[in-house]
Amino acid sequence: MKKHNFNAGPCILPRIALENTAKAVLDFNGIGMSILEISHRSKEFQAVMDETVALFKELLNIPEGYQVLFLGGGASLQFCMVPFNLLNKKAAYLETGVWAKKAIKEAKFFGEVVVVGTSSDKNFTYIPKGWEIPADADYFHITTNNTIYGTEIREDFNSPVPLIADMSSDIFSRQVDVSKYAMIYGGAQKNAGPAGVTFVIVREDVLGKVDRNIPSMLDYRIHIKEGSMFNTPPCISIFVMKETLKWVKEMGGVKKMEEMDRAKAKLLYDAIDNSKMFTGTANKDARSIMNICFVMKDQYKDKEDAFMEFAKLHGMVGIKGHRSVGGFRASTYNALPVESVQALIDCMKDFELGNA
């Protein structure tokens, strides 16, 4: 039976990226050694690193003055690295979900944190509006896509202070004006590659302005100087990232990804909105095109477990909602084919016919 992978992360990867990685694990570029074995200091791996950086810069149209880093620790480590390097006295944060809350918690170890807006009052089902960024803040931090709650910010703000964005789960799903950001970071395991590597896009002129000493491993300037090789990088994850970004480029780039992602999301949201049994959870003006969250309507709540089993029997993988919100979540990342979205819709309709 064909499996339809809606996992929120690690998630589905392009088939060609998996195939090329499998070959490289056995014999990388015909050198008689595995990509898992070669030195990160070798010319062969340096070429992998250089190509991956170049793809990032090309696909996102990154301006001069920015550096691209590949680090370990996931976005969760960035929650402390960002304030360690940038928070001198005060920072502003927008609270839109669990990951934003975690980032706020870490930042409070380094200075004053102002939460300019929050949607916690309605379980993060909307994006706050009408907030103001303090002009004296060292930076303003946002989480652009909220995987657990299915909301998303799909615009590039004009900020009076350096703008920092966690784009873990929607990078490469839309064209971004990188020049409006001082830093963009995220775990790769959604649209950019597999788990194990974290990307950081940072404008160099925002660094070196805090009063504190920064441990070498947590200092962006050290990683820039060493070309992401201050310590041994996650080599295999970077290789898979390269293959994933090559696929994005061959498919038509980020513009094409956005067209495809919007079409997949519309297909599924329309099915949810027209359903007798299912209903969406996020406000319609804040809906994510990456993580589509929905539940059973009140009169059918007792059928949620039955639908989960029905969906599994029909090849649906990873549609269980996060434990904090329940229900269902379909993650429609770049590599997910539209055929899988249609298969989920057909599954929902079939279950509804027999149970509504």
Q: Is residue 2 part of a domain?
A: no
Residues 6+ apart with CB under 8 A from 125: 119, 149, 151, 281, 282, 283, 286
With b for 16 or more beta-carbon neighbours within 10 A and e for fewer, the 314-335 pattern comes to bebebbbbbeebebbbbbbbbb
Same domain? For 246 and 296 the reply is no
Could you give the angle at which helices 98-107 and 74-86 cross, rounded to 10 degrees?
40
Residues 6+ apart with CB under 8 A from 258: 173, 174, 175
Same domain? For 218 and 289 the reply is no
**Number of structural domains, the chain?**
2
Q: Is residue 8 part of a domain?
A: no
Whichever domain contains 286, its CATH number is 3.90.1150.10
CA distance 6 to 256: 20
3-state secondary structure of 150: coil
Q: Is residue 78 part of a domain?
A: yes
**Average pLDDT over the chain, rounded to an integer:** 97
How much is the average pLDDT of 101-126? 98
> Domain ends where: 198, 223, 251?
251
Same domain? For 209 and 284 the reply is no
Per residue in 11-42, pLDDT (tens digit) is: 999 999 999 999 999 999 999 999 999 999 99
> Domain ends where: 226, 251, 276?
251
Same domain? For 177 and 125 the reply is yes
Report the relative pairing of strands 163-166 and 183-187 from DSSP bridges: parallel
Residues 6+ apart with CB under 8 A from 178: 60, 61, 62, 63, 66, 184, 201
Same domain? For 276 and 181 the reply is no
Distances from the Cα of 31 to the Cαs of 7, 20, 154, in angstroms? 35, 15, 44
Domain holding 209, by residue range, is 15-251
Per residue in 214-258, pLDDT (tens digit) is: 999 999 999 999 999 999 999 999 999 999 999 999 999 999 999
What pLDDT sits at residue 341? 98
Same domain? For 231 and 259 the reply is no
pLDDT at 356 over 90: no
Q: How does residue 181 score in pLDDT terms, banded at 50, 70 and 90?
A: very high
Give catalytic residue positions: 99, 166, 190
What pLDDT sits at residue 119? 98
> Domain ends where: 251, 268, 286?
251
Per residue in 314-355, pLDDT (tens digit) is: 999 999 999 888 999 999 999 999 999 999 999 999 999 999
Do residues 133 and 116 make contact, with C-beta atoms less than 8 angstroms apart?
Answer: yes
Q: Is residue 9 part of a domain?
A: no
Same domain? For 243 and 260 the reply is no
What pLDDT sits at residue 5? 98
Per residue in 131-172, pLDDT (tens digit) is: 999 999 999 999 999 999 999 999 999 999 999 999 999 999
pLDDT at 1 over 90: no
Same domain? For 77 and 225 the reply is yes
Whichever domain contains 160, its CATH number is 3.40.640.10
- Strands (E) across the chain are located at 4-5, 66-71, 90-95, 112-118, 140-143, 145-146, 151-152, 163-166, 183-187, 198-203, 278-280, 291-296, 316-317, 328-331
Residues 6+ apart with CB under 8 A from 64: none
Same domain? For 241 and 263 the reply is no
Q: Is residue 95 part of a domain?
A: yes
Give the CA diameter of the chain. 65
Q: How does residue 87 score in pLDDT terms, banded at 50, 70 and 90?
A: very high
Residue 270 in tokens: 């329309």
Q: Is residue 7 part of a domain?
A: no
Q: Is residue 5 part of a domain?
A: no
Same domain? For 246 and 262 the reply is no
Same domain? For 169 and 41 the reply is yes
Same domain? For 197 and 125 the reply is yes
Q: Is residue 46 part of a domain?
A: yes
